């Protein structure tokens, strides 16, 4: 009898906590989106101290020029882009994921490219803040800490620098994917360290991590590469605290060739990709 009473009390308390967590989440979402609009409404309406209806960010016009160019041919997009210098193979030298995303949403929602661009540019900030909120809440089990982290992200001037000032849309949009990738990879690592590598949740979190990494590479390759390096470093730190120096040495010894080849591939790619892409037309003419 007593056990059933205590069980009922615990279920009641759990229900109250779940309802409160949901209410707190709803209030946090409203606060994050409200603060984002308060600080970044000019991205949506273009109203600044100097003009009205302008695109925010000096590089935003270039991002839209790519949208207008590829929208003429989509989905059969050309590899060669003749409007920059002597021409470049833009598909192999610039992150095109956001360009195609704008084109697809433009056609699905019957909006103009400028309207879709403004909406996605604005959503970059609240969605990134929400990712930070969920990452902190799930891993630290504290919603208030997650909300503080999300608000501090929005209040930081550095968070608005790339999009609101420079207009670097692809890089800014890729930040949305950073926190979810770290979250699902850490959930996978937690189960791996507990010996639950063959569990359904472990495999699911690993697959989701891979999907987020792949999407990030399509959006911005530099952001994806930085995430990959952080995941490697975080894995080493987690294994160090879980198994100690001896276990870490075994892991490094078994995976040294994989880690080294992956790092070399990243650095070689970035040192040579830009040169080959942009100098190929000159080399072709010279030859």
pLDDT band at 4 (very low <50, low <70, confident <90, very high): low
Distance of CA 26 to the CA centre of its chain: 22
Q: Could you give the 3-state DSSP secondary structure of residue 88?
A: strand
Of 60-64, 104-108, 157-161, 230-234, least confident by mean pLDDT is: 60-64
Q: What does the mean pLDDT of the chain come to?
A: 75
Q: Flag whether pLDDT at 233 surpasses 90.
A: no
- With bands split at pLDDT 50, 70 and 90, how would you rate the model's confidence at 279? very low
Please check whether residue 79 is in contact with residue 89, taking contact to mean a CB–CB distance below 8 angstroms. yes
Which are the contacts of 235, defined by CB distance < 8 A and separation ≥ 6?
A: 189
Compute the average pLDDT of residues 132-153: 90
Apex CA 178: angle with CA 58 and CA 203, to 5°?
A: 150
Q: Which of 65-69, 114-118, 126-130 has the lowest mean pLDDT?
A: 65-69
Establish whether the linkage from the previous residue to 225 is cis, with ω within 30° of 0: no
CB atoms within 10 A of CB 260: 10
The residues with which 88 forms a beta bridge, in sequence order, are 81
Question: Residues 57-105: pLDDT tens digits?
Answer: 656 777 777 778 787 877 777 777 777 677 777 666 667 788 888 888 8
Residue % of the chain over a pLDDT of 90: 9
pLDDT of residue 286: 38
Return the domain boundaries, the chain.
Answer: 2-286
Q: What is the mean pLDDT of residues 242-263?
A: 59
Residues in the chain: 287
Q: Does the structure show a pLDDT above 90 at 261?
A: no
Band of pLDDT at residue 276, cut at 50, 70 and 90: very low
Question: For 269, phi and psi rounded to 5 degrees?
Answer: -60, -45
Q: At what angle do helices 113-140 and 2-45 cross, to 10 degrees?
A: 150
Check whether 12 has a pLDDT greater than 70: no
Find tokens 């999300």 and name the residue.
150
């Amino acid at each position: 009898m007593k056990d059933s009473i205590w069980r009922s009390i615990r279920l009641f308390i759990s229900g109250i906590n779940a309802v409160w967590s949901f209410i707190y989440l709803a209030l946090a979402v409203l606060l994050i989106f409200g603060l984002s609009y308060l600080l970044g409404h000019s991205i949506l309406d273009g109203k600044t101290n100097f003009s009205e209806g302008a695109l925010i960010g000096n590089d935003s016009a270039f991002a839209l020029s790519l949208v207008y160019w590829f929208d003429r041919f989509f989905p059969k997009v050309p590899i060669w882009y003749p409007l920059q210098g002597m021409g470049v193979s833009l598909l192999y030298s610039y992150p095109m994921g956001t360009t195609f995303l704008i084109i697809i949403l433009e056609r699905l929602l019957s909006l103009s490219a400028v309207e879709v661009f403004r909406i996605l540019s604005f959503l970059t900030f609240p969605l990134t803040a929400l990712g930070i909120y969920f990452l902190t809440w799930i891993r630290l089990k504290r919603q208030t800490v997650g909300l503080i982290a999300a608000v501090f992200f929005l209040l930081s001037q550095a968070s608005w620098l790339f999009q609101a000032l420079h207009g670097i849309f692809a890089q800014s949009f890729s930040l949305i994917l950073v926190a979810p990738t770290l979250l699902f990879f850490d959930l996978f690592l937690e189960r791996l360290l507990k010996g639950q590598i063959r569990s359904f949740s472990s495999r699911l979190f690993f697959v989701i991590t891979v999907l987020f990494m792949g999407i990030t590479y399509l959006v911005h390759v530099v952001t994806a590469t930085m995430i990959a390096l952080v995941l490697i470093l975080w894995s080493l730190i987690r294994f160090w605290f879980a198994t100690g120096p001896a276990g870490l040495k075994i892991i490094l010894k078994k995976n040294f060739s994989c880690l080294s080849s992956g790092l070399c591939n990243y650095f070689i790619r970035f040192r040579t990709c830009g040169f080959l892409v942009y100098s190929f037309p000159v080399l072709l003419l010279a030859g």
